[in-house]
Structure 1
């Protein structure tokens, strides 16, 4: 509203969900862009391409259903950004938006990933979270840290972000993983949450690894 004009009250619930989708999606996109390090492509030190990522119809033991496959649009932007990166080769991207039971008003899960051939995995993980934390309107509520859940053989980096735009404020965990063939950033949003209470990065890390296990498959 213009200066001196009182606001008209909160937007309809549907509009609020759309706004949340937009601002969280921007963070996820910024996070995956953090993977891209410009420079000359170096041929040595890259692993063989043994695994790739898919977007299953359901994730996290069928808690979330695929609502929108953005691989052809946002994923193409990721691939274009990655072209020429010195620590990534033969890149393909998958980007998807999931909702619990197909209902966006309850929350969402956004996954933006790449598969191909990567090196310097720790730098890739931290770079993705750094990019997410620097997105417009974002405050890092809990700084990034590496988490290796009990019994896991893969390290996940996680942080907690708070975003405020218009009348919407949301707080949610974002996690990233990177191995020789796959890398992704995952944001899981509960629309009922207003602050960091109840956010457990150990749980977020375990969920990220479960998502990884459900998305990964042999290359080819």
Structure 2
């Protein structure tokens, strides 16, 4: 559940006016998790709960259909691919270059249909007062559609492309036999030449789909863009107090992974990072490690899963949260291609360790951290760690660090 309490004060009281500091704030609560996945074509109902602040400082509750307040609205900011299909009475819809918006004077759920692919797009629900620029209450989540799929071959992709290849080869054989028969009967030359050419055109994609693929029938096949085939460990991460130590302290559990012989030819690298004692984000016991390799990686999905699995199967390690997929897009920079991360939570020496891995044809890397996300505050620790990994990739693989 996502709960965001606005720190800016605003009002639902009479327009006369009391000072801005006396205007109440609102809590907005959503049933959705902080990271939501949905299929293209599916519907999603956003049902907020709104809690205005009372004069005594306690929180009330607005039932569905209750007015938000005088000159107050409950506003939904949606991606352009999310089309509202069910809105409450009195609500207004608006489409702009930035997305779709629904504004309601009362507390109403909104049902949207996902009309196209989304990669970690923001959905925001805010309480706004007319004439004020900043909302007085806010909640939100990230919406991804379709559900992130693995890159590379999947069982469904393999079956689909092999069936398509067999069908194409069957059609090619039939057309070639027909051309041979028409040629022997001295039919019109253009007919049997056309059959022969069509047969050969079907044979090429058919053989490719059976042998190499995927080309036809492989709808579940997704490949994400690769970065440069190099992984470097800088002396400094980010600009908020993370530094490298040359060796692991004794109190920090080792969760590095084993190589995968026969499926990669790589150079392994690793690094340990901890915040300065007086760093702005440093907390006692917080640390971060990067373990990875660069070179030739045969199967990115296998490489990523191998890192997580070998870490989870190490002696004395238990899995606290099974692996989850996060498909995220960088917020800035020239490389805006989405990156697929797989993250899990382990318990190592009674410490909870969040891990996120990514891999492509030239790099595999595993981020391990304790003490919560370092780079981004998040109600979902794994989502925050995935954002850490996204930022870390900019430094260690794309060369965007200091």
Residue 257 of structure 2 is aligned to residue 86 of structure 1: no
Q: Report the counterpart of residue 159 of structure 1 in structure 2.
A: 344
Q: Contact (CA 8 Å) 2:257, 2:310: kept in 1 or not?
A: no
Residues 356 and 368 in structure 2, CA contact (< 8 A), matched pair in contact too: yes
Partner of 1:100: 275
Shift in Å, 1:121 = 0.7
Alignment partner, residue 116 of structure 2: none
Q: Distance in 2 between matches of 1:68 and 1:49?
A: 27
Shift of 1:133: 0.9
* Counterparts of 1:175 and 1:61, CA distance in 2: 21
3-state SS in 2 of match to 1:185: strand
Shift of 1:180: 1.1
Counting only pairs closer than 5 Å after superposition, residues 1-220 of structure 1 correspond to structure 2 as 50-68=228-246, 81=259, 85-89=261-265, 91-101=266-276, 105-150=284-329, 153-164=338-349, 169-190=350-371, 200-217=381-398
Change (3 A) 1:208 1:78: closer
- Structure 1: tracts of 5 or more residues without a match: 1-47, 71-76, 192-196
* RMSD (CA atoms): 3.2
Unaligned runs of 5+ residues in structure 2 are: 1-225, 249-255, 331-336, 373-377
Higher Rg of the two aligned structures: 2
Higher helix share: 1
Report how far residue 217 of structure 1 moved.
4.7
- SS of the residue aligned with 2:361? coil
Number of positions where the alignment pairs a residue of Structure 1 with one of Structure 2: 153
Q: Distance in 2 between the 1:95 and 1:199 partners?
A: 26
Q: Retained in 2: the 8 A contact 1:119–1:180?
A: yes
Displacement of 1:101: 1.4
* Distance (whole Å) between structure 1 residues aligned to residue 323 and residue 238 of structure 2: 23
Hey, which bits of structure 1, 4+ residues long, moved more than 4 A? 102-105
Deviations 1:77-121 (A, max 9, x none): 989x55xx23212x1111111111168944111111100011211
Q: Which deviations, in whole Å up to 9, do the C-alpha atoms of 1:146-173 show, x marking residues without a partner?
A: 2112556110110011123xxxx21121
* 8 Å CA contact 1:99, 1:108 repeated in 2: yes
Compared CA separation, residues 69 and 95, structure 1 to 2 (3 A)? farther
The offset of 1:63, in angstroms, is: 3.6
